[in-house]
Chain A
Amino acid sequence: MSDLPHIKIQQEDFDLTTEVAALRAGHKDIGAVVSFVGTVRDINEGDEVSILELEHYPGMTEKALEKIRLEAHERWALESSLIIHRIGKMYPTDQIVLVAVSSRHRENAFYAAHFIMDYLKTNAPFWKKETLPNGDERWVDARISDKEAENRWVK
């Protein structure tokens, strides 16, 4: 694994090409890179969403994400991995999260990216608040389907 930061919590947007290039830099052994970009939707629970605001728990967030990342490295043979999660105000079509992993062979990378994303959804302390077009604000409720998605990875 390289010395680059593996976890980034930031307000700024990210560039997929730049981040993946950094993830691959110097690794001649990489045969596969899988990346997932989550984006802000303009609709949730049947309502139009104007703004999505992300809050997190500084300190615990980094610790929780690093734990998830290291678990992925324990389960699959990966060469490198990166998690970027944005915080603050975002708008429909904005990028919100990036998970990128590299490995010698594609299967490990596919599984690991999927696993990291599922665990992030239920184990990393981020909370979403939506603003509707009429100005109403509401916190997004956790989904049962996210917990079910996590459970499929239980050994």
Chain B
Amino acid sequence: MVNVLYFASFREMLGKANEQINAEYNTVGALIESLATRGENWQKALLENQNLQIAVNHDVAQRDTLIKAGDEVAFFPPVTGG
């Protein structure tokens, strides 16, 4: 089980803030591939988006970052604070 979070424009585009995903994936990339099969919005936001930002357990991550059960994976657009 992986806890997946979506922030800002991603939360609005995908219609959810978080979800538990049951299947096991080795990498963030594999998780993205699976989520992208849900539809066009998912494909655009996660698979095709060059600006996609990823965090695993609150640290910046990449598509090849390894994930395991219990991890928290977050997807969001580039940050704009300050």
Residue positions of A touching B, CB distance < 8 A: 38, 54-57, 59-60, 63-64, 85, 96-97, 117, 120-129, 139-143
Q: Are B81 and A59 in contact (CB under 8 A)?
A: no
Q: Are A127 and B74 in contact (CB under 8 A)?
A: no
Partner of B51, one of A63, A85, A142: A142
Contacts of B55 in A (CB 8 A): 57, 60, 125
Q: Bound complex: CA of A129 vs CA of B9, how far in Å?
A: 9
Instruction: Jot down 9 A-B pairs with beta carbons below 8 A, ordered by A.
Output: A60-B55, A117-B82, A120-B82, A121-B79, A121-B81, A124-B81, A124-B82, A125-B74, A142-B77
Q: Bound complex: CA of A126 vs CA of B76, how far in Å?
A: 10
Partner of B9, one of A38, A54, A139, A143: A139
Q: Are A54 and B81 in contact (CB under 8 A)?
A: yes
B 28-61 binary contact with A (CB < 8 Å = 1; else 0): 0000000000000000000000010001001110
